[in-house]
Structure 1
Amino acid sequence: MKIAIAQINPTVGDLIGNAQRILEAAGQATELGADLMLTPELSLCGYPPRDLLMRPSFITKMKAQVEALAKALPPNLSTLVGIAEDNLSAAEQGQKPIFNSMALLQHGEVKKIFHKRLLPTYDVFDEDRYFESGTKASSFVLQVNDESIHVGVTICEDLWNNETFWGKRAYPINPTQELVEKGVDLVVNLSASPYVYGKQTVRENMIAHEAKQYQRAIVYVNQVGGNDDLIFDGQSVAFSREGQLISRAAAFSTDLQLVNFDVDRRDFQTIAVETPLLSADAEIWAALVLGVKDYARKCGFKKAVIGLSGGIDSALVSAIAAEALGPENVLGILMPSPYSSEHSISDAEQLAKNVGIPIQTIPIGKLMSGYDTTLDSLFKGTESGVTEENLQSRIRGNLLMAVSNKFGHLLLTTGNKSEMAVGYCTLYGDMNGGLAVIADVPKTRVYSICRWLNREQEIIPDNIITKPPSAELKPDQVDQDSLPDYEILDDILERLVQKQQSADDIVAAGHSAATVEKVVRLVTRSEFKRRQTPPVLKVTDRAFGMGWRMPIASRWSLELSAQS
C-alpha cells in the first residue's frame, strides 16, 4: 500500500483555495500510484481558525466544500481531509457545537468522519473553547490487493499522551493504545503542530518510542506555513514498527512524500532518509523567513519597510525580509539623529548593500528641535532624560508609519526578545509595526544567527556584530548602561520566563541577587508594553504572544520568593 504524505500550506479561511491545494497534492499522489493520501489537521480551513469556528456559516460552507472536494478527488485515491464537523448532539446534551475532525473521502463521497479526542488548552492552544471531544477510538479498513488494512486515525494531540515516554499522562485516555487494542495495523496522525526550536527532535523521539512500544508503524503529517504569529515547520515523518525513521519531509516548505506499507509484514519498506535535521541557527532562520513570507502573502502585502539603525537587530530583520520577500521589495529607512555615530550610518549602508535592499535617509535633527520647542513651555524647569530620548524613537516610528500608510508597505519591527522582556523598547516608537519578526529571539541568539549567516560570506557587516550594542539616544550610550550583559540577562530570562523558576532558584544557579531583582522588576512592570506589541513570530515554547497571558494591573510580582 502506497501512502502519500501531503504536507500542505493552507491559508486560514480559504476553503476554496485550500481545497485546490489538496486537489493538486492528490494529482501528484495519483501519478505516484498512491492508495491513501494524508493531509494535516483542519487542512480544509487551515489551523488555527480561532473564532471563525463560532460562525455557523463558516461550518456550513466547510461542509459543502468537503462534499465538493470528495467529488473532485481521483476516484481511486482514499484521502483524509481535516474539517470542523457539526456536533448533532450538542443542544440536547449541553456540548460544544462542533468537533475537530478528519473526513475519509472515497469514490466521490464522504465515507466516514473521525473526531479528535484530546483537546489541548495550554500555551497557544484553546481548543476546548470550540470543540467537543471525540469519545471513541476511530479506524477504517482499506482494501489493497485483496488485503484488508486496518488503519487507526489520530489527530495531533491524540498522539502526545504516552505515559511511558513523558513519565505521566496529561489526559485520562491514550488514544493510540486504544487503537492498538482494537487491532489496527497502522496508525496515522494528522497534525497542525506549531514550530518551536528543537521540537522536531522531541516529536521524532516520541513517535519512535510509540511505534516500538506498540509494534505499529506510524505516519505523522504536519501542516507547514505561517498563520499569524504561529509558524508550522512540516517535517512530516513515518516510522517503522521497530521505531526506525523511514521518511522525513522537508522543513518549512510544502512537500509530498510517498511511503510503501508492506501489507504482508504490516510494516514500511525501508528507504534512505534524505532530509537531514537543520542546525539550531539554520532552523530558526528558516522559520522566521517563512513566518515573514506567509504573513505578508496571506495579509496581501507585497513590500515591507524597516527602520535601519546600524545595529544588529535591524540588520537581521532586513536579511530575513530580503530572503522572504525579495530584496527589491524591502525598503530600509535611515533616520540619523545628532547622536547617531558615523559608523551606524555607514554600517547600515553596508548592510543594505550586502542584502541588496534600497534605502532612503531621513535625518530627524530638525524634528527633534521642533518637539523641544513645542514642549518647552510645558517641560520648562525639568531635567532632560528618558522622555526626551524616547521622542527620538517616536519620531522615527511616526515616519515609518507614514511610509507604511503611503505606499502600503508592511512595517516590520526589529526588537528582540531580551528587549521585549525588560521593556527596553518604546511604545509608539520602535514598537510600531505590523509584525514583530524577532521578538521571540533572545539577543544572544540574534548574534549567533548573524554569525551563522556570515559562515560563507559577509552578509551582516562585521562591525555590526563586534561593536557594543546601543540605542544611540544620547551621547556615548550603550545597552549595558541600563542592562546586564546579554549573556547574563538571557540566562536569567530563560529561567524566569520559559522555565518559570523563582528568583531564589535563579540566584541559586549563580546569578547576583541584585541583578535578578532588577530583571524581575523590569519584566513585571513592562507587561503593558508587551500587550501592545504587534504579532510576535513564535520560535520558543514561551513567546510573548497568545500563549502569554499575564495581567497588567496586578500586585503580584514574578519575584515569587518575596510573596510566597
Structure 2
Amino acid sequence: MTDRLTIALAQLNQRVGDLDGNVAAMLEWRGKARGADLIVVPELQLTGYPPEDLVLKREFVRRAMEASERLIDSTADGGPALLFGSLHHEEGRDYNAVLLADGGKLVARRLKHELPNYGTFDEKRVFASGPLPDPVEWRGVKLGIPICEDIWLEAVCAHLAKSGAELLLVTNGSPYELDKDDLRQRLVRQRVVETGLPLAYVNRVGGQDELVFDGSSFVVNDDGEIAVQMPDWDEALWLTEWERTANGWRCATSRHHRLSPFPEDIYLAMVVGLRDYVVRNRFPGVILGLSGGIDSALSAAVAVDALGPDKVWGVMLPSKYTSDTSLEDAAENARLLGCRHDVIPIVPAVGALDRMLDDPQGLTAENIQARLRMVTLMALSNAHGHMLLTTGNKSEMSVGYATLYGDMAGGYSVLKDAYKTTVFALARWRNANKPAALLGPDGPVMPQRIIDKPPTAELRPNQKDEDSLPPYPLLDRILEALVEHEQSVAEAAAATGAAEALVADIEKKLLRAEYKRRQTPPGVKIGPRNFGRDRRYPITNAFHTGD
C-alpha cells in the first residue's frame, strides 16, 4: 500500500483548437515534474476551454481522441502519470472527460456528470452528462476525480466519498470574476467538510475571447485549512507532498502565494485577456484613439502592459471642439507610456460631410465626428494590420451613451465590463503600482490631470458627460442594481437612494441600448453579469418595470 505521493499541480494556459500545441505544452510541463508520481493539468487542457461548437465538428472530436492516445503513449517513458482533460466520444455522444495515463496505458477515464448551463457556460449544448463517477484505484490509492462543476453540487463528491475515495483531485476551467477566489475556497471547504476528504483544485490561466482564467489553484486539507495556494495569472507547476495518516490522506506541503487584491486583480485580468487575444489572433499590435480622456488612457496603459510599448499606437483625432488640454494630455500620456503617438485632425473630413449633408446639427453632427474617427482608425488598421482597440466602458454601453459605428467599433474592448467608477480606481492604482511581469514603464502611465478632469466626449462646446447622465458614482450604483442584481425600478431606487423617476429613465436607456450592445466587440469579463454571454436580453422587448 502506498503511503506517500508526490503530486505535481500544473496550472497552464491553452489555446482552443490547438491540439498539437496543447499536447506539446503538457509534455513539456510533464518533463518539468521530475520526481512526481502524478501531474494534474486543468479541465479540457488538450482541446482548450471552452471548445464551444468545435465539439459538433466530427473531425475535431476524432483528432482530439487521437491526441489523447498520443498523450497516453507518452507516459511509457517511466515519468509521472498524467491526469488530463480531453473529449471522449462513445455511442454517438460526446463527453467532457478526464483521463489518467500511466506506464503507456489508460488507467481510467471519468466523464463529467454536472454540466453547467448558465452565465458563460452552455456545456449541455455540446456534451452529454456522464454517470456518477466512481473512485479510480491507482497505486493503492482510491482517487476521486470530479471535473469542475461536479464539485459545485453535492452529489458527485458525496458519491465518491461513499464509494471509498481517499482524496479528491479536481480539474477546472473556472473563469475569473470579482471575488471568485473567496467563492471557490468557501465551496471547496464545504465539500471537504461534507466528505472528510482533502481536495486539490487545479485551474487554468490565460485568456480565451471574453473569458480570462486566473489560475489560483489550491489545496485544502481535511481540517478545512488551505495547505497550498498557487499564484494567480501565471503558469506554474508546484510539487505537493502527500502522506497517509491515521485519519487518511493529507497534503504535507505548506506553501502560499499572495493573490492579487482589488483592483489589481481586475487590471491583470484585462492585461492577460488582451494579450492572449491579440497574440493568438496574430495581430502585430493594437491601434486606438488617444483622446486625452481617462478611458483611452487606461486602455492604452493595459495595452502597453500586455504587449509592450512598441506594439501600441495611439492616434489623437482632434475636431474643432478638442481642447488644448486634451491635446497636451494625450501627448503626455503617450510619452509616459513610451508608445507611438500621431495627431490626425478630422476637421477636413467633418467639413466634407457638412457640405454633403447640408450642415447637419445636434446629435447628428456629434455622431459624424465619432464615426469619422472610427473610419480613420480603421483605415490605419487596414493599412498596417494593427487591431483597433475600442475604449468605451460599461457605464456608457449600458445607457447607450456611445456612437454605433463610431467609438463602439473595433476588434476588442478592454473596458467593456468595467463601470466608470472602476475605470477611475484602476487608473489611480496603475499610476501608483506596477506588477513586475507587466511590459509597461515604472511610475505613472498617465497625467494626473486626465484622472482629475470631468469626463467629456468633446463633441460640442463645453460638453460634459454629466450634462446627459447622472454623476457616475450614482449611475454605476443604479446600473449594478439593474444589471448585476436584476432589480426592478422600485427595488433599485430603494437600494441606491435614487429617485424612482431617475432609475426608471436609466432602465429605459438600458433596454433601448440593447441593439447597440449586440454589435460591440468582445471584451474581458470582470463581473457576474457581462454584456454578452451572461446577460442575454431580447432586443425587441416591451417589458420594463418603471412607469
Short-chain TM bin:
over 0.9
List structure 1 runs of 4+ shifted beyond 4 angstroms: none
Would the aligned equivalents of 2:231 and 2:259 in 1 still touch at CA under 8 Å? no
**Counterparts of residues 156-175 of structure 1 (less than 5 Å):** 156-162=148-154, 174-175=155-156
What is the deviation of 1:201? 1.1
Query: Which residue of structure 1 lines up, in the alignment, with residue 147 of structure 2?
Result: 155
What is the deviation of 1:491? 0.2
What is the deviation of 1:84? 1.1
Structure 1, residues 429-458: CA drift from partner, whole Å, max 9, x if none? 111111111110010010001111122532
Structure 1, residues 376-426: CA drift from partner, whole Å, max 9, x if none? 1xx6xxx71101101000000001111111111011100001011011111
Structure 1 stretch displaced more, 130-139 or 367-376: 130-139
Query: Which residue of structure 2 lines up, in the alignment, with residue 282 of structure 1?
Result: 264
Determine the C-alpha separation between the residues in 2 that align with 1:43 and 1:318.
31
TM-score (norm 1): 0.92
1:501 aligns to what SS in structure 2? coil
Alignment of 1:229 with 2:247, yes or no, is no
2:145 aligns to what SS in structure 1? strand
Query: Which residue of structure 2 lines up, in the alignment, with residue 517 of structure 1?
Result: 504
Would the aligned equivalents of 2:242 and 2:253 in 1 still touch at CA under 8 Å? no
Determine the C-alpha separation between the residues in 1 that align with 2:128 and 2:90.
8
Supply the AA of the counterpart residue of 1:451. R
Query: Which residue of structure 2 lines up, in the alignment, with residue 170 of structure 1?
Result: none
| Gap runs ≥5 in structure 2 | 434-442
Determine the C-alpha separation between the residues in 2 that align with 1:220 and 1:269.
13
Would the aligned equivalents of 1:503 and 1:517 in 2 still touch at CA under 8 Å? yes
Determine the C-alpha separation between the residues in 2 that align with 1:439 and 1:210.
35
**Counterparts of residues 39-54 of structure 1 (less than 5 Å):** 39-54=41-56
Query: Which residue of structure 2 lines up, in the alignment, with residue 251 of structure 1?
Result: 232
Alignment of 1:178 with 2:159, yes or no, is yes
Alignment of 1:465 with 2:448, yes or no, is no
Alignment of 1:27 with 2:34, yes or no, is no
What is the deviation of 1:528? 0.5
Determine the C-alpha separation between the residues in 2 that align with 1:403 and 1:19.
38
Structure 1 stretch displaced more, 431-440 or 509-518: 509-518
Determine the C-alpha separation between the residues in 2 that align with 1:446 and 1:542.
17
Would the aligned equivalents of 1:210 and 1:243 in 2 still touch at CA under 8 Å? no
Supply the AA of the counterpart residue of 2:208. N
Would the aligned equivalents of 1:470 and 1:478 in 2 still touch at CA under 8 Å? yes
What is the deviation of 1:546? 2.0
Query: Do the aligned partners of residues 130 and 269 (structure 1) sit closer, same or farther apart at CA in structure 2, a change above 3 Å counting?
Result: closer
**1:482 maps to which of 449, 452, 468:** 468
Determine the C-alpha separation between the residues in 1 that align with 2:194 and 2:258.
25
Supply the AA of the counterpart residue of 1:549. R
**Counterparts of residues 476-555 of structure 1 (less than 5 Å):** 476-509=462-495, 510-555=497-542
Determine the C-alpha separation between the residues in 2 that align with 1:270 and 1:482.
59
**2:107 maps to which of 108, 111, 118:** 111
Supply the AA of the counterpart residue of 1:309. S
Alignment of 1:101 with 2:97, yes or no, is yes
**1:7 maps to which of 7, 11, 28:** 11
Query: Which residue of structure 1 lines up, in the alignment, with residue 241 of structure 2?
Result: 260
Structure 1, residues 246-276: CA drift from partner, whole Å, max 9, x if none? 1122211111111111023533344443311
**Counterparts of residues 136-535 of structure 1 (less than 5 Å):** 136-143=132-139, 148-162=140-154, 174-265=155-246, 266-376=248-358, 384-455=361-432, 457-509=443-495, 510-535=497-522
Determine the C-alpha separation between the residues in 2 that align with 1:296 and 1:250.
24
Aligned Cα root-mean-square deviation (Å): 1.3
Query: Which residue of structure 2 lines up, in the alignment, with residue 168 of structure 1?
Result: none
Structure 1, residues 77-117: CA drift from partner, whole Å, max 9, x if none? 211111111131x4xxxxxx201111111111223210000
| Gap runs ≥5 in structure 1 | 91-96, 163-173
Query: Which residue of structure 2 lines up, in the alignment, with residue 169 of structure 1?
Result: none
What is the deviation of 1:182? 0.8
1:397 aligns to what SS in structure 2? helix
Would the aligned equivalents of 1:252 and 1:286 in 2 still touch at CA under 8 Å? yes
Query: Which residue of structure 2 lines up, in the alignment, with residue 93 of structure 1?
Result: none
Aligned length: 531
Would the aligned equivalents of 1:247 and 1:257 in 2 still touch at CA under 8 Å? no
Determine the C-alpha separation between the residues in 1 that align with 2:245 and 2:388.
57
Determine the C-alpha separation between the residues in 1 that align with 2:251 and 2:100.
24
1:243 aligns to what SS in structure 2? coil
Q: Percent identity?
A: 39
Would the aligned equivalents of 1:40 and 1:192 in 2 still touch at CA under 8 Å? yes
1:25 aligns to what SS in structure 2? helix
Would the aligned equivalents of 2:271 and 2:302 in 1 still touch at CA under 8 Å? yes
2:263 aligns to what SS in structure 1? helix
Structure 1, residues 37-79: CA drift from partner, whole Å, max 9, x if none? 1111111000011110000100100111110121223434211
Would the aligned equivalents of 2:217 and 2:229 in 1 still touch at CA under 8 Å? yes
Query: Which residue of structure 1 lines up, in the alignment, with residue 117 of structure 2?
Result: 121
Determine the C-alpha separation between the residues in 1 that align with 2:344 and 2:487.
45
What is the deviation of 1:298? 1.1
Would the aligned equivalents of 1:246 and 1:268 in 2 still touch at CA under 8 Å? no
Would the aligned equivalents of 1:305 and 1:330 in 2 still touch at CA under 8 Å? yes
Determine the C-alpha separation between the residues in 2 that align with 1:284 and 1:492.
21
Would the aligned equivalents of 1:43 and 1:82 in 2 still touch at CA under 8 Å? yes
Would the aligned equivalents of 1:308 and 1:348 in 2 still touch at CA under 8 Å? yes
Determine the C-alpha separation between the residues in 2 that align with 1:270 and 1:37.
17
Would the aligned equivalents of 1:82 and 1:102 in 2 still touch at CA under 8 Å? yes
Supply the AA of the counterpart residue of 2:185. E
Structure 1, residues 214-265: CA drift from partner, whole Å, max 9, x if none? 2111001111110111101111111111111111222111111111110235
Supply the AA of the counterpart residue of 1:48. P
Alignment of 1:83 with 2:86, yes or no, is yes
Supply the AA of the counterpart residue of 2:209. D
Structure 1 stretch displaced more, 240-249 or 487-496: 240-249
What is the deviation of 1:313? 0.4
Determine the C-alpha separation between the residues in 2 that align with 1:445 and 1:101.
38
Would the aligned equivalents of 1:259 and 1:268 in 2 still touch at CA under 8 Å? no
Structure 1 stretch displaced more, 260-269 or 57-66: 260-269
Would the aligned equivalents of 2:135 and 2:164 in 1 still touch at CA under 8 Å? no
Determine the C-alpha separation between the residues in 2 that align with 1:104 and 1:499.
41
